[in-house]
Structure 1
Amino acid sequence: MNNLRNKVQLIGRLGAKADFKKLDNGTAMAKFSMATNEVYKNNKGEKVDETTWHQVVAWGKTAEIIDKYTDKGTEIAIEGKLINHSYTNKEGEKRYSTEVQANEVVLLGDKKATV
């Protein structure tokens, strides 16, 4: 049971060029959306192609690699963990969001024109 932890592995394509910036303290940060696809047959035997979008953030050298070598449509594999955030919107309602914090990235191939 010691091997159970907060770990995410995804293979997919970037929805757009990553939003890259250097913070005041010099730390690099890249935020991007990533699409993963799952293909399966439903109860009627019909092929279903389901796309799920994930919000991803990367820091430091990982962020620099993503900025330098990826663009919209680039296929990558990432490993990281889930990070949960909560905030209050303008209407005073409590909202929650989840993003993947990428710790490692592997560039998998040529980018496609579309995601």
Structure 2
Amino acid sequence: MNAISLIGRLTKDIELKDIGEGRLVTSNTLAVRKTYKKDGSSDADFIPFVAWGKRAELLEEYCSKGDLIGLTGRMQSRSYKTESEDMRYVVEMLVEDLEFLQKKSPDKVAANPS
């Protein structure tokens, strides 16, 4: 079985890409808080994800950096060659469903401009 559910915060604003023939995609990273604290501060795992089609459009329309979202889907792996012919391997979450949970609070935005 290959199933994963995550709740976390977006690490950057959503950028929608049109790869031709009306196919839309976005990739981003979800910061998922760990259940333990390291040296008194919280720690997180950073999980890359990719969303296609309507899911990508919904993320781009309603979400921005820092928003708390829930994602369900599956893990996938792929590989590609760089321009210098180096092989790169990627493991990422393929989003199959999403939930909008919480917008980043305005006071955090003011305290942490980016």
| TM tier relative to shorter chain | 0.7 to 0.9
The two structures have a TM-score, normalised by structure 2, of: 0.80
1:39 match: secondary structure: strand
5+ long unaligned stretches in structure 2: none
CA contact (8 A) 2:37 2:43 kept: no
User: Of 54, 79, 83, which aligns to 1:86?
Assistant: 79
> 1:48 Cα shift?
5.4
The two structures have a TM-score, normalised by structure 1, of: 0.80
**Count of aligned residue pairs for this structure pair:** 107
Partners in 2 of 1:27 and 1:93 — Cα distance? Answer: 27
Match for residue 18 of structure 1? Answer: 14
User: Of 30, 34, 47, which aligns to 2:30?
Assistant: 34
Deviation string for 1:23-74 (max 9, x for gaps)? 31102211111100113267xxx64522111111101111111000000101
Moved more, 10-19 or 81-90: 81-90
Q: What is the 5 A alignment of 1:1-115?
A: 5-40=1-36, 47=40, 49-89=42-82, 92-112=85-105, 113=109
> Which has the larger helix fraction?
2
| Superposition CA RMSD, Å | 2.0
* TM superposition outliers: structure 1 runs of 4+ over 6 Å: none
Q: What is the percent sequence identity of the aligned residues? A: 28
Partners in 1 of 2:50 and 2:67 — Cα distance? Answer: 16
Alpha carbons of structure 1 residues 38 and 67: separation in structure 2 relative to 1, 3 Å: same
5+ long unaligned stretches in structure 1: none
